[in-house]
């Protein structure tokens, strides 16, 4: 059984709401360019506390020094993130760019947590709230986010058309999307049992 020092456990704690830089809001129903903000009018923010109720975990880190960052090292150790790879998403660097973006933006779930650390650039993770509304999470340089196993979600770049992200995995790297509907999928059932109506759960480390 893994053991952690008090310092590692403290460093691995998710970002407190009082200091968190993350922005999130409920989306409009427009079918315009997916890379736009798609805020309601008036804007309806979604707080970090509400994101945590949906299972999302968030940190703000030093992306310029990620290779020597003790906070990132502690998060990886405590959460068992043993494998990393860095992916640059842009027209110039990602093969089959247009089709990849379309695939990322299809509503889907995974059978593992989706863990992304943004080293540069920006984009949006959209997640389904428990009442089936879209919540748009703006991710920027320095943001590390865990989108929980079994939640319906999608990803898109913003109008800057560029993001450099570290993909982190617990164990072997697997990224298999299961497009909605997936109500009978074990990971969806697990998610609903943990975070659905009546569960009132938040991430263990939050």
Q: What would the pLDDT profile of 29-88 be if each residue is shown by its tens digit?
A: 999 999 999 999 999 999 999 999 999 999 999 999 999 999 999 999 999 999 999 999
Half-sphere exposure of 67 (CA within 13 A, CB side): 1
Domains of the chain listed by start with CATH number:
12-194 (2.60.120.10)
What is the secondary structure of 75-103 as a DSSP string? Answer: HHHHHT--EEEEEEESTTTSTTHHHHHHH
Please state, in angstroms and rounded to a whole number, the distance separating the CA atoms of residues 83 and 85. 7
- What share of the chain in percent tops pLDDT 90? 85
- Look at residue 201 and tell me whether its pLDDT is greater than 60: no
Q: What is the pLDDT of residue 144?
A: 98
pLDDT, one tens digit per residue, over 124-153 is 999 999 999 999 999 999 999 999 999 999
pLDDT reported for residue 200: 57
Cα Rg of the chain, angstroms: 16
- Give the pLDDT score at 98: 87
Helices and strands in the chain, H and E counts: 5, 10
122 pLDDT more than 50? yes
Longest CA pairwise span in the chain (Å): 50
pLDDT at 7: 97
Going by C-alpha positions, the residue among 63, 91, 104 that lies closest to residue 162 is: 91
If pLDDT is split at 50, 70 and 90, which confidence band does 1 have? low
Q: What is the pTM of this model?
A: 0.93
Digit-coded pLDDT (tens) for 92-103: 998 999 888 888
38 is in an annotated binding site: no
Checking if the pLDDT of 204 tops 90, the result is no
């Amino acid at each position: 059984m893994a053991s952690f020092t008090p310092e590692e456990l403290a460093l691995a704690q998710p970002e407190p709401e009082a200091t968190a830089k993350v922005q999130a809001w409920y989306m409009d129903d427009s079918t315009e360019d997916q890379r736009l903000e798609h805020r309601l009018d008036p804007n309806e923010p979604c707080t970090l506390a509400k994101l945590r109720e949906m299972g999302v975990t968030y940190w703000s880190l030093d992306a310029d020094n990620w290779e020597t960052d003790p906070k990132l090292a502690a998060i990886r150790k405590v959460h068992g993130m043993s494998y990393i790879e860095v992916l640059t998403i842009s027209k110039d660097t990602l093969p089959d760019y247009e089709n990849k973006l379309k695939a990322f933006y299809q509503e889907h779930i995974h059978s593992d947590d989706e863990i992304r650390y943004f080293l540069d650039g920006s984009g949006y993770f959209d997640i389904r709230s428990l009442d089936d509304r879209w919540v748009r999470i703006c991710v920027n340089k320095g943001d590390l986010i865990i989108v929980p196993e079994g939640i319906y979600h999608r990803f898109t770049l913003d109008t800057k058309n560029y993001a450099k992200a570290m993909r982190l995995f617990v164990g072997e790297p697997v990224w298999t999307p299961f497009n909605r509907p997936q109500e009978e999928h074990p990971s969806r059932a697990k998610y609903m049992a943990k975070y659905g109506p009546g569960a009132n759960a938040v991430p263990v480390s939050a």
